Structures are given as C-alpha cells and as structure tokens.
Structure 1
Amino acid sequence: MKKINTMAGMLLAAATAMFSASCENDNINPYDYVANNGNANQGSTNVIKTAVAEYPVGSLVWSNDTTLSESVEIPVGTSLYIEPGVTVTCKADVQVPVEVVVLGNLYCLGTAEKPVTFTSDRKKPEAWGGIICGYNSEEVVLNHVDIAYAGATPTESSASFQNKLFKTTIDGGVPAFHFCNVNGKFVIANSFFHDNYNDQTYFTGGNGVIAGNIFADSGNAADGGEAINVKAGCKLDVANNVIYNACTNAFKLSNAGNSEVVPLTDMTVYNNTIVDCGWRRSKNKKGGSVWVEKAARPVFVNNLCYDSRFGLKQPKQDGADMEHSRLTPNYYYASTATGVEQMAKGASLGIWFDTDIKSATAGQFDPLFKLFKQNAGMDINCEVDDPDKGAPLAFDKAWNFDLQQGSPALSGGVTDFARIFPNGIPFFGMKKVNFLDSANDQNYYFSAPLPQPRFGAWL
C-alpha cells in the first residue's frame, strides 16, 4: 500500500507536464451560495499551478494518466484533485487488490468531453477493489467519472481492511464506491458506473447528491449486487439516473447497517429509470427493482421500472416505515406475462398502490424508449448471467432511455415535494481551486434537478 506523502505529491504535481482542458459548467451557478457572501472560486495565494488550474499548497494533483500496482491512501486532511481526461489504470495481476482509500478528500474534475476514468488493465469485473472512503473523509466529488471493473475481495493486507473500512471480515468484494462519514458530503454526477462485480455504490452515512448517472451491469450471479445501496445515517437526493441490469436490486433502501445513535436516513428518490433488474434471486423471492426495509422512509416517486422483477418490495417484517414514506406514483412496465404476475396486486412481498401505473397485460403502457434493444429471450427470473439463457444484454452506450413523443410515461408524475438539498451542497475544496479561465471554471456546489411531472430520467 502506498501512503502518499503530501509534500512529495505536491512537488511531483508541480513538476509534471500538464495539459489544457475545456470544462463544462452544468450545475447551478457557483457564485450564488449565500453563506459565502456570493464569492466566486477564490483560489489561493500560494498555489500549485497546472495548465488547468491553481490548487492550494498541500494538495495532491494528478494531471497525467496513472497506473497503480498497489493501493493508494489519501491521508486525513489532504485533498487529491484529478484533472479532466486522466485515466487511472489499476493493475489486476497483484497479490493485494488495488484500492483507492480516501481518508481525506477526493475531487474528480471530469467533463463531458474529458471524463476521469478508473479502469483496470484486465478490463473484466473484480479486477481491482474500489474507491473506499474513511470516517473522516469530508468531501468527495465524482463529476463526469467512468468507474469500471471494481469489486475485488480485499485481503487482511488491503488498505480498506487495515483502516477498518467497509468490511471487518473477509467475506466478499467491496463496492466500486463507498462513503461512510455521517457528517461528510459527496456528489456523484454525470458519471458512468459499469461492469463492477458487487454493489456499484454503498452508503453508511453522508450527505449526498446522486444525479444524471448511468449504472450498468451491476453485480454477479453468485454474490449479487445493487446499483445504489443505502443504509442509516444518510441524507440523499437521487434523481435522473438510469439503472440497467442490477442483478439483485436497482435500489436497496434501509435504515440498518449502522449504530443506533446514527440518525435515520432521509432521501428523495425521483425521476429515475430502472431496466432489467433483479433477475438473480427468484428462488428465495428477494431482489427486484426496489427493496425497502428496516424502517426506511423515502420519498420514492416518478420512477420508471421496465421489465424488472417484482417492482417495489419489502420484507414480511421490518419493512419500510409506511407512515412516513411516500412511495407513489411510480410507473411499472412488463413486456411478459410473468412480469405482470409478479407486479400484480397481492404478489408476495409486493407494495401496491392504486395511484401507480402498472401493466395489467403484457406490453401494456410501453413507455416507448427512444432507443433500446431488449433481449428477445429475456427471462426476469433467469438466475444466470448469460444472455442466451435470458439474462440482459450487455449495456450499449448507444441506447437512449429518454421517452419518445406520445409516450404514456410523459405525464402523471408529481412535483409537490421538497428535495433534501434544494439549494445544493457546497464543496469547499472546489471553491479553493482557481481555474485559469472561464472555459475551465467548474462549480463548487451541486444540486439535484427539480422533479419533473413525468416518469423516469430524461437525457
């Protein structure tokens, strides 16, 4: 494991050849945050200067592509900035899987044209660990980031295990991204998580915005995998995401998995699209598109669920806090008779609302995606990760899950609820960066989009 020395990293960053990049500004105006007197990004008088920006002294800056053959640990109080277009390649043929353990802060400054990429030289799931954050990690920004092939099982020598993060016993892989500081902040925006071996994301604390992402091909038939797995201690706005082929659940929403002193989770989950999820666990009746348990009390509305097993479910006992939840309206489409049956009123463990829109016959209420190819032999109970036996096809980035004109899912949603963070979340480590021209300027706080009176994500 490589514990980065802050001064050495700073000097290396300052001496490395840099590149210029064009950065988009696709969130709310960074200069409106009243608590900071409306000031723009200030930068620092003592700086690390690259072709893109000036960073505070003491920062770590990665400006060039990087190959990791061992884990990296970002110390408490230290900030790592990864500039647009940088690719971080994790070696797979190592004794201890590579992890990026963030005890301090991480800012991935990707853009639509030049995303930050975390990948592996093997280009197959389970090739490296993931980005695992510590209990004192204050801020993480993943904006326009591509994260793939993570989920390897740690060893007792792994950085995450040594820091007592995520796992206290070695019994399976880590998520591609894990955050656990109840008082910390994170954003995942405009990013692409795909081909990760276990959960794409797992949260046991934190204040976050998850918006405008694609989560594709999550988990594996043996161990499962959720796209977004939420436990206690979180406050989250989750909107406008596409989740494709999460083999257990698209969302697992719970207030378990943390100390009793941790506050209950509050979250608004709206205008997301869920496709071909939950095929793994038909024998034990768990899994599906959305699983709510352990006194979870989300606002979960305007979501579109397409050919996923079940729909909205909870355990027979210890399920959602129905009194304080809002779980309708949502849109559930099934192209098969089996899908219709599993989402029908009275289905085992299902949650039913008359205010939802659900297919009563196979193919009814097709939402009319602009471009999507369903597996002709699709079996939502297949339990094997093989398209020839009914599993979803591999994700195709050419697909477009926005809705055609005339779609029945373009109306019927609601907007009469409040986001957790209506003014956005400020990330002060971003505010300290002085981007060198207006074309490179990036926001220092992020907000989930306003809810739309339609179902599903829009692109």
Structure 2
Amino acid sequence: MKKINTMAGMLLAAATAMFSASCENDNINPYDYVANNGNANQGSTNVIKTAVAEYPVGSLVWSNDITLSESVEIPVGTSLYIEPGVTVTCKADVQVPVEVVVLGNLYCLGTAEKPVTFTSDRKKPEAWGGIICGYNSEEVVLNHVDIAYAGATPTESSASFQNKLFKTTIDGGVPAFHFCNVNGKFVIANSFFHDNYNDQTYFTGGNGVIAGNIFADSGNAADGGEAINVKAGCKLDVANNVIYNACTNAFKLSNAGNSEVVPLTDMTVYNNTIVDCGWRRSKNKKGGSVWVEKAARPVFVNNLCYDSRFGLKQPKQDGADMEHSRLTPNYYYASTATGVEQMAKGASLGIWFDTDIKSATAGQLNPLFKNFKQNAGMDINCEVDDPDKGAPLAFDKAWNFDLQQGSPALSGGVTDFARIFPNGIPFFGMKRVNFLDSANDQNYYFSAPLPQPRFGAWL
C-alpha cells in the first residue's frame, strides 16, 4: 500500500519512486508534473499548474493514465484531483486487492467527452476493491466517472481494513464506493457504475447528491448487491438515475446504525427508473425494487419500477417510519402475470397505496421506453445470473430509458415537496480550481434536478 505523503519536500524526492512499481512503463508517472526538474509549481509560487487547470499548493493531481498494483491511501487533509480523461487501471493478479482509500478528499473531474475511469486489467467483477472513504473525508466529487469491476474481498492487510473502514471482519467484498463521514459531503453525478461484484454504493453517513447516473449489473447471485444502499447518518437527494439489474435491491433504505450518536437519515428519492431488479432472493422473499426498513423515512415518489420483483417492500418487523415517510405516487409496471401478482395488494411484505399506478394485468400500462430490449425469457424469480434461465440481459449502453411520446408515465407525478439541498451542495475544493480551458470548466455547486410531474428518469 502506498501512503501519499503530504510534506512537499518528501513528495518531490519520493514521487517517482512511490509509483514506479504501480505504473506501466508506457504510462507517464502521475506525479511527473510535480517532480519535473524539482519545480513543484511550474513557475508559480501560488498554484500547481497543469495543461488543464491550476490547483492549490499541496494538492495531488493525476494528469495521466495510471496502473495500480497496490492500494493508494490519500491522507487526511490532502486533496487528490483526477483530471478529465484519466484512466486508473487496477491490477487484478495481486495478493492484496487494490483499493483507493480516501482519508482526505477526492475530486474526479470527468466530462461527458472525457470521463474519469476506474477499471481493472481483468475486466471482470471482483477484480479490485473500490473507493473507500474515511471518517474524516470531507469532500468527494465523482462527476462523469466510470467505475467497474470492483467488489473484491479485502484481507487483513488491505488499506480499508487497516483503517477500520467498512468492515471489521473479513466476510465479503467491499462496495464500489463507500462514504461514512456524517459531516462530510459527496456527489455522484453523470456517472456509470457497472459490473461491480457487490453493492455499487453504500452510505453510513454524509450529505450527498446522487443524480443523473446509471447503475447497471449490480452484485452477484451468491452474495447479492444493491445499487444504492443507505444507512443512518445521511442527508441525500437522489434523482434522475437509471438502475438496471440490481440482483437484490435497486434501493435499500434504512436507518440502521447507532441512532443515539448518528442522526437519522433524511432523503428525497424521486424520478428514478428501476428495471429488472431483485431476481436473486425469491426463496426468502427479500429483495426487489425498493426495500425500506429500520425506521427509514424517505420521500420516495415519481419513481418508475419496470419488471422488478415486488414493488415497495418492508420487513414484517422494524419497517419504515410510515408516519413520517412519503412513499407515493410511484409507477409499477409488470409484463408478466407473476410480476402483477407480486406487486398486487396484499402481497407478502408489500406496501400498497391506491395512489400508485400499477399494472393490473400483464403488459398493461407499458411506459414505452425509447430503446430497450427485455429478455424474452425473463423470470423475475430466476435466482441465477444466467440470461438463458431468465436473468436480465447484460446492460447495453445503446438503450434509452427515457419515455416515448404518448407514454402513460409522462404524467401523474408530484412536485409539491422540497429537496434536502434546494440550493445544492458547495464543494470548496472545486472552487479553488482554476480551469484553463472552458471545455473542462466545472462549477463547485452540485444539486439534484427539480422534480418533474412524470415518472422515471429523463435522459
């Protein structure tokens, strides 16, 4: 594991050596701009300058592609900026899975044309760990980021385990992204999480915006996996996301945690599209599109659930705080008789509202996606990750889950509720960056979009 030292003199002396084992020969060392002739600020006494931007002194900047063969740990108080178009490739054939442990701050400055990419040389799930943030991590920005093939199980030598993050026992994989600082801030915007072995995201604290993302092919048949898993200590606006093929739940919303210390979670979850989720756990009746438990009290409205097992569910005991929640209206579509039955009034563990829109017969109220191919043999109770046995097809980036003109889901939503962060969340580490090219220029405020009087995400 490489701990990045924040002392400028040591950084200059050690920059090349620190990553020489982690970078491919054909990659430029991401600290070369720092170590270049010993001139950390490239002629300026006030900033660190690259071809893209000027950054505050003391920042760490990855300007070029990098291959990691061991974990990276960003210390408390240190900010790592990853510039547009950079690809971080994590080696899979290593003794201890690669992780990016963020004890300080992380800013992934992707753009639509040049996303930041976290991937693996093996290009298969469980090839590396994930981005695991610490209890003092103040700000994390994931904007236009592609994160794939994460979810490996840590060892006792793993950076996350050594820092007592996420897991205190070795009993399974880590999420692709985890945030835990109740007082910290994060944003996940315009990003693509896919083919990760366990949960895509897992939150045990933090103030965040999750908007405009695609979460595809989450988890595995053996261990499950949620797209967005929320526990106590969070304040979140979650909107305009597409969740496809989360094998356990698209959303798991909970106030689990030490409520005497950690504040209860507040969240608005609206105008999201959920497709083909929950096929893994039919025998024990858990999983589906949305699972609310342990006094969760979300605003959950305007969401479109398409061919997912069950609709909105809660445990028989210790379920949602119904008095303080708003869980309707939402739109539930089923193309099969089994799907209709599992979302019907009186279904086991289901939450029913007359104000929801639901298919009464198979295929009724099709929301008419612009471009989507459903598995012809789809079985929402298949329990195996095999399309030939009814599991969802692999995600296709050519699909478009926006709605055609004339869709019955284009009306009926509500807008009479407030977002948690109506003015957005400021990320001051972004404010201090001076982008030199307008094509890369990014604001330092991130906010979820205004709710729309329709169901589902718009793209």
Smaller-chain TM-score bracket: over 0.9
How far residue 436 of structure 1 moved from its aligned partner, in angstroms, is 1.4
Residue 375, structure 1, aligned to residue 381, structure 2: no
Deviation larger for 122-131 or 4-13: 4-13
Structure-2 residue corresponding to 1:126: 126
Residue 357, structure 1, aligned to residue 354, structure 2: no
- Distance change >3 Å, CA 34–CA 170, structure 1 → 2: closer
Q: 1:7-51, CA deviations, whole angstroms, 9 ceiling, x for partnerless residues?
A: 569967999999999999999999999999999999996111000
How far residue 257 of structure 1 moved from its aligned partner, in angstroms, is 3.1
- Distance change >3 Å, CA 34–CA 78, structure 1 → 2: closer
Report the TM-score when normalising by structure 1.
0.93
Q: 1:114-159, CA deviations, whole angstroms, 9 ceiling, x for partnerless residues?
A: 0000000000000000000000000000000000000000000000
Distance 1:131 1:87 in 2: 14
Distance 2:6 2:38 in 1: 31
SS state at 1:17 partner: helix
- Distance change >3 Å, CA 37–CA 422, structure 1 → 2: farther
Structure-1 residue corresponding to 2:203: 203
SS state at 1:33 partner: helix
Which aligned runs of 4 or more in structure 1 are off by greater than 4 angstroms? Answer: 7-45
Deviation larger for 401-410 or 251-260: 251-260
Distance 1:442 1:123 in 2: 30
How far residue 218 of structure 1 moved from its aligned partner, in angstroms, is 0.1
Distance 2:33 2:17 in 1: 34
Where does the alignment leave 5 or more consecutive residues of structure 1 unmatched?
none
Corresponding residue pairs, total: 459
Q: 1:59-115, CA deviations, whole angstroms, 9 ceiling, x for partnerless residues?
A: 100000000000000000000000000000000000000000000000000000000
SS state at 2:429 partner: helix
Distance 1:177 1:164 in 2: 16
Deviation larger for 438-447 or 152-161: 438-447
Note if contact 1:14-1:49 (Cα within 8 Å) is conserved in structure 2.
no
Q: 1:379-432, CA deviations, whole angstroms, 9 ceiling, x for partnerless residues?
A: 000000000000000000000000000000000000000000000000000001
How far residue 196 of structure 1 moved from its aligned partner, in angstroms, is 0.1
- Distance change >3 Å, CA 111–CA 258, structure 1 → 2: farther
Note if contact 1:43-1:55 (Cα within 8 Å) is conserved in structure 2.
no
- CA RMSD in angstroms comes to 6.8
Note if contact 1:300-1:327 (Cα within 8 Å) is conserved in structure 2.
yes
Note if contact 1:176-1:196 (Cα within 8 Å) is conserved in structure 2.
yes
- Distance change >3 Å, CA 366–CA 92, structure 1 → 2: same
Distance 2:449 2:436 in 1: 28
Distance 1:29 1:18 in 2: 10
How far residue 439 of structure 1 moved from its aligned partner, in angstroms, is 3.2
How far residue 212 of structure 1 moved from its aligned partner, in angstroms, is 0.1
Distance 1:6 1:183 in 2: 23
Structure-1 residue corresponding to 2:385: 385
Distance 2:211 2:320 in 1: 23
Note if contact 2:34-2:40 (Cα within 8 Å) is conserved in structure 1.
no
- Distance change >3 Å, CA 292–CA 280, structure 1 → 2: same
Structure-1 residue corresponding to 2:77: 77
- Distance change >3 Å, CA 21–CA 100, structure 1 → 2: closer
Note if contact 2:135-2:180 (Cα within 8 Å) is conserved in structure 1.
yes
How far residue 5 of structure 1 moved from its aligned partner, in angstroms, is 1.8
Note if contact 1:97-1:158 (Cα within 8 Å) is conserved in structure 2.
yes
How far residue 445 of structure 1 moved from its aligned partner, in angstroms, is 1.0
Note if contact 1:10-1:59 (Cα within 8 Å) is conserved in structure 2.
no
- Distance change >3 Å, CA 292–CA 28, structure 1 → 2: farther
Report the TM-score when normalising by structure 2.
0.93
Residue pairs, 1:314-333, within 5 angstroms? 314-333=314-333
SS state at 2:391 partner: coil
- Distance change >3 Å, CA 264–CA 21, structure 1 → 2: same
Distance 1:229 1:280 in 2: 16
SS state at 2:20 partner: coil
Note if contact 1:42-1:432 (Cα within 8 Å) is conserved in structure 2.
no
Distance 1:438 1:15 in 2: 30
Q: 1:252-297, CA deviations, whole angstroms, 9 ceiling, x for partnerless residues?
A: 0000034531110000000000000000000000000000000000
Structure-1 residue corresponding to 2:112: 112
Distance 1:33 1:5 in 2: 16
Distance 2:279 2:31 in 1: 45
Q: 1:203-242, CA deviations, whole angstroms, 9 ceiling, x for partnerless residues?
A: 0000000000000000000000000000000000000000
- Distance change >3 Å, CA 44–CA 141, structure 1 → 2: farther
Deviation larger for 18-27 or 1-10: 18-27
- Distance change >3 Å, CA 384–CA 457, structure 1 → 2: same
Deviation larger for 189-198 or 15-24: 15-24
Note if contact 2:30-2:61 (Cα within 8 Å) is conserved in structure 1.
no
SS state at 2:207 partner: strand
Structure-2 residue corresponding to 1:52: 52
How far residue 437 of structure 1 moved from its aligned partner, in angstroms, is 3.6
SS state at 2:95 partner: coil
Q: 1:334-380, CA deviations, whole angstroms, 9 ceiling, x for partnerless residues?
A: 00000000000000000000000000000000000000000000000
Distance 1:9 1:29 in 2: 18
Identity %: 99
Note if contact 2:29-2:66 (Cα within 8 Å) is conserved in structure 1.
no
- Distance change >3 Å, CA 113–CA 94, structure 1 → 2: same
Note if contact 1:13-1:61 (Cα within 8 Å) is conserved in structure 2.
no
Structure-2 residue corresponding to 1:403: 403
Note if contact 2:2-2:18 (Cα within 8 Å) is conserved in structure 1.
no
Note if contact 2:271-2:452 (Cα within 8 Å) is conserved in structure 1.
yes
- Distance change >3 Å, CA 12–CA 232, structure 1 → 2: same
